[in-house]
Amino acid sequence: MFFLVYDLTSFRFFLYIFIRVFGGTPMSLKDLCASIRMEIVSRNFPPGMKLSEQILCNRWKVSRTPIREALRHLESEGFISSSK
C-alpha cells in the first residue's frame, strides 16, 4: 500500500488518522516519563511495586523500547530503582 503525501500538514493528518485507526498514541519520551511519574506519584503504582514492562506497554500502547528508555531515564533521575 502506498500513500502520496504532498505536504507536511497532510502527512501529520494522515499519521494522526493512521494511529487512531490502528491503535496507539504517539508519545515522546518526555511525555512517557511524565506519565509514568504521575502514575507513581498518584499511587496508582504503589511504592515497592514491580513495574512490568509488558503491563506498561499495554497501558500506554507502545513497544518495549520506549518503556525501557523511560524506565532508564526515571532511574537516572533517582525516581525509581532497579534490582537485577
Could you report the per-residue pLDDT of 38-65, keeping only the tens digit for each?
A: 998 888 888 888 989 999 999 988 889 9
Question: CB under 8 Å to 15, separation ≥6 — which residues?
Answer: 26
Tell whether the model's pLDDT for residue 68 goes beyond 50.
yes
Whether the per-residue pLDDT at 5 is higher than 50: the answer is: no
What domains are defined for the chain? 27-84 (1.10.10)
Q: What pLDDT score does 28 carry?
A: 85
- Look up the pTM and report it: 0.66
Higher-confidence position of 73 and 45: 73
Phi, psi of 50 (to 5 degrees): -75, 125
Query: Bigger pLDDT: 37 or 21?
Result: 37
